[in-house]
C-alpha cells in the first residue's frame, strides 16, 4: 500500500538561501506518516488514549536536491519493513511536475507506553493494521 499527499513549498519552509530548510523535510514526512496511519484507521490520538505512542527511533535520509518556494511536491509513504518490534516507512519527497527527487528516507518507529517503556511486541492494533501483504519493497 502506498500513500501520497501533495502540497507546495511555503516561505516558512525555506532558509536564508531561499531553499527548503533541511528540517522542513522531516515535517513533510511526518505529515505523510500521520496521513498514512489515518488511512489505516490508526488515529494517533486514539492510540495515545490506549497508551500506545509510536516515536521515531531512526531516520536515514538522503538529501538529493533542493526544493524552492512555490514548487509543488508530493510525499510518497510505504511500509518497507515490519518486525515484531518496529515498523519502517520508506518515504520519497519529489517535485510533482518534474519527478525530481528532493529526499528519500527510511524512518523506523517503535511502540512505547505513556511512560516511555518499550512494548516487546507491536500492540495488536498496529500489528493487525499493517499486514504483510501491505508491505512494499523499495
H or E element, residue 59: strand 56-63
From 15, 43, 70, 133, active-site residue: 15
Q: Which residue has the cell 501520497?
A: 4
Half-sphere exposure of 116 (CA within 13 A, CB side): 1
Strand order in the sheet with 86-95: 2-8, 72-82, 86-95, 101-110, 56-63
Q: Which residue has the cell 495488536?
A: 124
| Active-site residue, 38 included | no
Q: Are 15 and 21 in contact (CB under 8 A)?
A: yes
Give catalytic residues, as residue numbers. 15
Amino acid at each position: 500500500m502506498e500513500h501520497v499527499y501533495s502540497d507546495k513549498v511555503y516561505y516558512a519552509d525555506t532558509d536564508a538561501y531561499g531553499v527548503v530548510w533541511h528540517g522542513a523535510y522531516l515535517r513533510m514526512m511526518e505529515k505523510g506518516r500521520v496521513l498514512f496511519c489515518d488511512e489505516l484507521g490508526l488515529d494517533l490520538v486514539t492510540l495515545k488514549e490506549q497508551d500506545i505512542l509510536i516515536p521515531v527511533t531512526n531516520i536515514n535520509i538522503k538529501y538529493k536536491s533542493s526544493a524552492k518556494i512555490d514548487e509543488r511536491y508530493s510525499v510518497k509513504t510505504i511500509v518497507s519493513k515490519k518486525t515484531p518490534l518496529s515498523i519502517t516507512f520508506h518515504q520519497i519527497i519529489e517535485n510533482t511536475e518534474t519527478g525530481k527527487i528532493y529526499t528519500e528516507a527510511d524512518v523506523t518507529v517503535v511502540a512505547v507506553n505513556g511512560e516511555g517503556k518499550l512494548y516487546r511486541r507491536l500492540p495488536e492494533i498496529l500489528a493487525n493494521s499493517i499486514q504483510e501483504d501491505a508491505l512494499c519493497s523499495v
